[in-house]
């Protein structure tokens, strides 16, 4: 009989790598944010091309229960088209100490 995994919302996760399939023009800025934007990490920006056969990868070292990824460009004529995002996540703890 297998063990029930139950609800794993309280797990502390390590967000280690982000890979995406994208096209565009300009520089794409990436950031990871925790719940309520308490903590954040800016990742190295990606210089985009209109046509490419490479899926750019960015390393991160962000440990939180949950996170969201912000993608943005800052200049008027910059644009991006994302067709796939893969976020490599590994659970590192069951909860924070004292919880």
- What is the C-alpha R_g of the chain? 16
Whole-Å CA distances, 49 to 8, 20, 42, 59, 79: 39, 13, 21, 20, 10
* Residue that is written with structure tokens 């009989």 in the block: 1
pLDDT 10s digit of each residue in the chain, 99 long? 444 455 556 789 999 999 999 999 999 999 999 999 999 999 999 999 988 899 999 999 999 999 999 999 999 999 999 999 999 999 998 877 776
Q: Is this structure's pTM higher than 0.85?
A: no
CB atoms within 10 A of CB 39: 13
The full set of domain ranges for the chain reads 12-89
CA 37 to chain centroid, in Å, comes to 14
């Amino acid at each position: 009989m297998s063990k029930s995994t139950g609800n794993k919302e309280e797990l502390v996760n390590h967000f280690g790598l982000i890979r995406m399939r994208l096209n565009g023009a300009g520089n794409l800025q990436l950031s990871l944010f925790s719940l309520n934007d308490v903590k954040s990490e800016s990742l190295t920006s990606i210089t985009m091309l209109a046509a490419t056969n490479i899926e750019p990868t960015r390393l991160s070292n962000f440990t939180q229960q949950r996170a969201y990824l912000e993608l943005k460009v800052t200049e008027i004529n910059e644009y991006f088209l994302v067709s796939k995002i893969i976020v490599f996540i590994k659970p590192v703890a069951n909860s924070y100490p004292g919880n």
